[in-house]
Amino acid sequence: MAQDPFWLGDERIEPGTRRQLEVPVAKLYTHTPLHIPVEVVHGRQPGPVLLICGAIHGDELNGVEIVRRLLKLPVLSRLRGTLIAVPVVNIFGFVQQSRYLPDRRDLNRCFPGSEGGSLGSRIAALLREEMVDRATHIIDLHTGAIHRTNLPQIRSQLRKNPETQAMAEAFGVPVILNAELREGSLREYAQSRGVPVLTYEAGEALRFDEWAIAPGVRGIRRVMRLIGMLPAEGRRRSPPAAEVANGSSWARAPIDGILRPRVRLGARVAKNEILGVVADPFGNDEAPVVANADGIVIGMSNLPLVNEGEALFHVARYQEIDDVESALESFQSRYETPGNFADRT
Ligand SMILES: [Zn+2]
């Protein structure tokens, strides 16, 4: 049985078709209208409604490329249900190469928003009404902040919803963090409505990281197969089961200075191991940055210039760290993660 047409604003999308739409969002001071580009792929058969969002933080580009590649997949002609793909949510920040909106607000702290509120609040309200409230499943794509890079990781509140946990595991990246909700985030809002939502965090702002993009596309395909939107493919081997981290913490700069990292992203480290050394330009007053627990480096700063107290290495702790290490090895044999920064001097 074919499903009903899908409406987005005044646009009607027939079953078995796909449309690129421009959702009007605001006007610039100059009277120039701005739109959020959206593609809706509306399958012939009814099924889940999956919302995929990129660049809610306007400088986080890997998700934009993930959405582009996803939309090129020929298998989408066999889609069940509806895919709502938004490559660039924060178009203002994207144009400015900035995480924020023009009023310096963070769009991912503006949910649920309101129609009479500030710009961020209005965009959040528009997204909520037109897309988020209609989605049965959501994947929100992010990267590390500027000058920070993340090993591909899923962040979610796993214990609240068994379907969320199944989606996180199906995504197939080696790191899953049971992350607290940020007030006003898309994830917090969606979860308050009981919608399973994953945040995929991978790579660095203002960069394209192939080792973050390719597993992102694969991960979304796996989730779409899991929830019945794409046909199952029996031949594919599933990724090694990911371990959920017990927690994570940042190792911070002990002094102001210039950082020489000694570990790379994905490294297994031991408590009190030296992760990097901070010194002034002459190499006087050297101070080590040490790991505060055994774990895996899942995020790090790429900028050598640091102030005392700055978060430099994000270390996740695990019960079964050997299993995580072998899952990472298999991941890294498939995707080339950044090279070894080892400091021998
Ligand atoms: Zn982000």
Q: 193: which residues sit within 8 A by CB, 6+ positions away? A: 133
Reported residue count of the chain is 345
Residue pLDDT, tens place only, 120-159: 999 999 999 999 999 999 999 999 999 999 999 999 988 8
Residues 182 and 195: their CA atoms lie apart, in Å, by 16
The rounded Å distance from CA 148 to ligand 1 centre is: 11
The rounded Å distance from CA 241 to ligand 1 centre is: 25
Q: Are residues 245 and 293 in contact, defined by beta-carbon separation less than 8 angstroms?
A: no
The rounded Å distance from CA 43 to ligand 1 centre is: 30
The rounded Å distance from CA 143 to ligand 1 centre is: 6
337: pLDDT strictly greater than 90 = no
The rounded Å distance from CA 15 to ligand 1 centre is: 33
Residue pLDDT, tens place only, 160-178: 789 999 999 999 998 999 8
Instruction: Write down the pTM of the prediction.
Output: 0.95
At residue 96, φ and ψ (nearest 5 deg) are -85, 0
* Parallel/antiparallel/unpaired status of strands 45-53 and 80-86: parallel
Pure H helices in the chain: 62-71, 91-96, 119-130, 162-171, 186-192, 210-226, 321-334
CA angle 276, 280, 285 (to 5 degrees): 80
The rounded Å distance from CA 275 to ligand 1 centre is: 25
At residue 310, φ and ψ (nearest 5 deg) are -70, 140
